[in-house]
């Protein structure tokens, strides 16, 4: 059985069809990059994966069961920005999920339990290369360091699935390269299954093991929301030629113009 299965999956908001008839199986430890025109439903798909939105039709299965309807320790997520709490230092940010879980009302724990949460947070920060910035607040960190912190936060509960919503979109090319290396290392070391949205088709082609193109294959320029996006390409990456890359790139430009 595949770890994740999309079975005729739809998401609609009223009359707006965002995603339609998605079908796919994803095995554990795949690294799926997702590209598509702006507004075609990539984040919506991640929200379904995270459990903060429900499908309107069809099924999204994890180990053969409907994916849990709210976020839990099976899935961690990193957004492009603003994932971290500005009033907590790096250690505090990474401890937060554990503190909230252990003490639902106060949001704080004490004694040995707190020490363990702190030790685990420090180990996680070291894993993402922030061992030297444990007591720094987000505003004292560069963009790349903030994303490292967000990754530490997402991975502290040791999820099986890591969801990345354009995590490196705002970073300079050199820093992006370092972040690619970090994500690839964590993916391998922690046996993660990764879904990563990117606007950069080249990143989509060459970073992961599998590329999904979300695109509207039926497109009414007068009513772009009448039809949803589907998975129009599902490719093992690294093996495609330049022509495929260019044709996907120009097709997505056409959709982007139609969506506006
Ligand atoms: N809660 C909501 N209610 C109504 N419509 C929504 C809601 N969330 C998203 N949408 C609509 O769904 C469509 C897809 O949005 P989504 O954010 O998933 O696109 P995207 O591909 O991630 O875009 P981008 O690349 O710009 O981030 C958009 O038309 C958006 O307006």
User: For 213-248, what is each residue's pLDDT tens digit?
Assistant: 999 888 777 777 878 899 999 988 865 566 777 777
Q: What is the Cα–Cα distance from 42 to 98, expressed in whole angstroms?
A: 29
Residue corresponding to tokens 């007068």: 222
Give pLDDT tens digits for 122-135.
Answer: 999 999 999 999 99
CB-side exposure of 10: number of CA atoms within 13 Å? 15
Q: Are residues 220 and 112 in the same domain?
A: no
Q: Are residues 244 and 181 in the same domain?
A: yes
Task: State the complex-level ipTM.
Answer: 0.96
What is the model's pLDDT at position 218? 80
Q: Are residues 62 and 165 in the same domain?
A: yes
Question: Does 54 sit in the ligand 1 pocket, CB within 6 Å?
Answer: no
Q: Are strands 161-165 and 193-197 parallel, antiparallel or unpaired?
A: parallel
Q: Are residues 255 and 176 in the same domain?
A: yes
Q: Are residues 184 and 234 in the same domain?
A: yes
> What's the burial of 257, exposed, middle or buried (CB within 10 Å: 0-12/13-18/19+)?
exposed
What is the model's pLDDT at position 249? 79
Q: What is the Cα–Cα distance from 221 to 258, expressed in whole angstroms?
A: 5
Q: Are residues 22 and 50 in the same domain?
A: yes
CA angle (195 as vertex; 193, 197 as ends), nearest 5: 160
Q: Are residues 171 and 243 in the same domain?
A: yes
Residue 180 pLDDT greater than 60, yes or no:
yes
Q: What is the rounded average pLDDT for all residues in the chain? A: 89
| 254 part of a folded domain | yes
| 65 part of a folded domain | yes
pTM, two decimal places: 0.89
Q: Are residues 166 and 243 in the same domain?
A: yes
| 13 part of a folded domain | yes
Print the domain residue range for 197.
4-74+159-259
CATH code for the domain in which residue 228 is found: 3.40.50.300
Residue closest by Cα to atom 2 of ligand 1: 13
Question: Does 39 sit in the ligand 1 pocket, CB within 6 Å?
Answer: yes
Among 113, 117, 142, 118, residue whose Cα is nearest residue 129? 142
Q: Are residues 62 and 105 in the same domain?
A: no
Contact in structure between 95 and 121 (CB atoms under 8 Å): yes
| Among candidate residues 157, 176, 195, the one where a domain is terminated | 157
65 bridge partner residues: 62
How many Å lie between the centroid of ligand 1 and the Cα of residue 167? 17
What is the model's pLDDT at position 239? 56
Q: Are residues 146 and 180 in the same domain?
A: no
Q: Are residues 103 and 168 in the same domain?
A: no
| 79 part of a folded domain | no
Question: Does 44 sit in the ligand 1 pocket, CB within 6 Å?
Answer: yes
Give pLDDT tens digits for 21-80.
Answer: 999 999 999 999 999 998 899 999 999 999 999 999 999 999 999 998 877 889 999 988
**Domain total for the chain?**
2
Q: Are residues 164 and 47 in the same domain?
A: yes
């Amino acid at each position: 059985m595949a770890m994740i299965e999309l079975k005729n999956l739809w998401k609609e908001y009223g009359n707006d069809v965002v995603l339609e008839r998605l079908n796919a199986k994803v095995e554990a430890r795949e690294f799926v990059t997702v590209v598509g025109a702006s507004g075609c439903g990539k984040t919506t798909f991640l929200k379904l994966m995270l459990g903060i939105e429900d499908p309107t039709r069809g099924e999204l299965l994890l180990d053969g069961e409907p994916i849990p309807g709210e976020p839990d320790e099976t899935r961690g997520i990193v957004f492009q920005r603003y994932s971290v709490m500005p009033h907590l230092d790096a250690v505090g940010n990474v401890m937060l999920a554990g503190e909230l879980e252990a003490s639902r009302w106060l949001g704080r724990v004490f004694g040995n339990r707190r020490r363990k949460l702190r030790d685990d947070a420090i180990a996680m920060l070291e894993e993402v290369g922030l061992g030297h910035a444990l007591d720094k607040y987000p505003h004292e960190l560069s963009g790349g360091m903030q994303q490292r912190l967000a990754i530490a936060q997402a991975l502290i509960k040791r999820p099986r699935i890591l969801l990345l919503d354009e995590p490196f979109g705002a970073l300079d090319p050199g820093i992006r390269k370092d972040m690619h290396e970090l994500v690839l290392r964590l993916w391998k070391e922690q046996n993660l299954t990764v879904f990563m949205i990117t606007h950069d088709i080249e990143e989509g082609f060459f970073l992961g093991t599998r590329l999904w193109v979300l695109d509207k294959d039926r497109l009414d320029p007068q009513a772009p929301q009448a039809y949803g996006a589907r998975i129009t390409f599902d490719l093992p990456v690294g093996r495609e030629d330049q022509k495929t890359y260019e044709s996907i790139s120009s097709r997505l430009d056409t959709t982007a113009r139609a969506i506006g």
